[in-house]
Amino acid sequence: MKKSTLWIVSGVAIAVLVVAGARLLSQRKAASAPATTAAAAPVMELASTDVLTVKTQALAMGLPVSGALKATQSAFIKARVAGELVALNVREGDAVQAGQVVARVDPIEYQARQRQAQQQADSAKAQVDIAQRQHDNNKALVDQGFISQTALITSQATLNGAKATHMAAVAALDVANKAIDDANLKAPFAGQIAQRLVPQGERVAIDARIVEIVNLSQLELEAALPANEAAQVRVGMKAQLQVEGLSTPVQARVLRINPSAQAGSRSVLVYLGVAGREGLRQGLFAEGALGTQTVQAMAVPLSSVRTDKPLPYVQVLENNTVRHVPVKTGARTEVQGQTLVAIEGLSEGAQVLAASAGAVREGVQIKFTATAR
C-alpha cells in the first residue's frame, strides 16, 4: 500500500472517531439537561389570601364549657282530674298563649257533681232560713216571758248547726266548680308545644302528662366546672358558644352560680343565659369558652398549625420560599367564629401559609397569582 493511501485511510478513520465522539457528547448533554431542570426548585402558585401575617393581638382566655341548652321556662301540662281526653287540638311546634286551653277532659261527670253540690247547698241554705226564723220567734217569746231561756239556747244551737252545714255545702260546691275548671287544661305561659304525650280519646289519670310546653325566648346552659376553675367565675361574665347546627357563635352570660358543689365530682354548676334567636332549640349541644382574662400574644388560626410531624409546625414564607418552622402552641380562643391559638417560635410579622394552601413541601418556591397583593 502506498504511503499516500495509508494517510488518507488514517485521516478518514480519525474523522469518523471525531464525529462519533461529538455525537456521543451531544447525546450526554441532552440526557443531562432534563435532570438539571428536574433538580431545579419547584414553583407553586398561591393567592394572597393563602398567606397570613403573624401579629400580637388581645386574646380572651377562657374556661371551656359545654352542655345542652334548655328553655328557662318549660313545663309539662298534666291532667288535674281523671277522665277521657275529649279534646287535644295542639301539635308539636304550635304556638300557644298564656291561659289558652290546649286540652279538655270529659266534664260530664264533674258537671253532675256540680249540680249535686249546688242542690245540697240550696237545701242547706233553706235549713238555715228555717232555723233563723225559729230562733227569731223563740227570742220574741222569751222577751215576752212565754218560754224559757233554755229554748232560746237550743234554737241558737240549731241555727249554728244549719249555718255550718250550709258552709260545708258551699265548700263542696266550690270543689265541684274547680273540678269543672280543671277539666280544661290551660297553658301556664306563652310558648310552643314540644311534645304530645297522649293521644286524644285516651282515658288519663290525675297528674298524667298531656303535653310539654317551652318558651324559647330565653335559654340556659348548665355547665359543670371544677372547683378551682369555678372560683374564677363571676355573675355577669360573658361566654361565646358554638351551637350545633349554627354557623355563627352565640353570646352567653353567667346568670347564676350554684352555691353547693355536686356530690362525688365536687364540681360546681354555672348557669349561662342565652337569648333566644332563630335556630336555637331546647336540647341542642353547645360548647365554648367562658372568658376570664385577656392576654397579649402572637396567634395564628389553629388550622394553620400542622401536626403531621413529631412536633407541631407552621409553613413560613421567607423570600418566597416555604420553610417548616416548629412552634409551641398555647391557649386557644374563639374570635369571630375562628379558633386562634397562641404560638411561640415565630417573630412579629412572619408570613404563614393558611390552611387553604394545604401541605407544601419545604423549599418550594411560591409565586402569587395576578390578584396578589
Could you tell me if 221 and 69 are in contact, meaning their C-beta atoms sit under 8 angstroms apart? yes
Antiparallel, parallel or unpaired: β 209-225 and 95-96: unpaired
pLDDT of residue 316 exceeding 60: yes
The predicted model scores a pTM of: 0.59
77's enclosing H/E stretch is strand 55-78
Q: Cα–chain-centroid distance for residue 29?
A: 69
Give the CATH class of 43-64+295-368.
Answer: mainly beta
pLDDT of residue 100 exceeding 90: yes
Instruction: Quote the CA–CA distance of 255 and 240 in Å, as a whole number.
Output: 14
Q: At a CB cut-off of 8 Å and minimum separation 6, what does 97 contact?
A: 187, 190
- Confidence class for position 320, pLDDT limits 50, 70, 90: confident
Instruction: Quote the CA–CA distance of 345 and 310 in Å, as a whole number.
Output: 16
Residue 5 in grid coordinates: 493511501
Please give the torsion angle defined by the CA atoms of residues 201, 207, 209 and 212, in that order, rounded to the nearest 10 degrees. 130
- Angle formed at CA 236 by CA 235 and CA 242, multiple of 5 degrees: 110
Any idea where the domains of the chain sit in the sequence?
Answer: 43-64+295-368, 107-182, 216-286
pLDDT digits (tens, 9 = 90+) for 242-279: 898 888 888 999 999 999 998 888 899 999 999 988 88
Q: What is the pLDDT of residue 231?
A: 85
pLDDT of residue 186 exceeding 70: yes
266: which DSSP letter?
-
33 three-state secondary structure: helix
Residue 163 in grid coordinates: 249555718
Q: What is the pLDDT of residue 18?
A: 60
Give the closest residue to 267 by CA, choosing from 226, 231, 233, 229: 226
Q: Considering the domain 107-182 in this protein, what is its CATH number? A: 1.10.287
Residue 303 in grid coordinates: 388550622
Q: Considering the domain 216-286 in this protein, what is its CATH number? A: 2.40.30.170
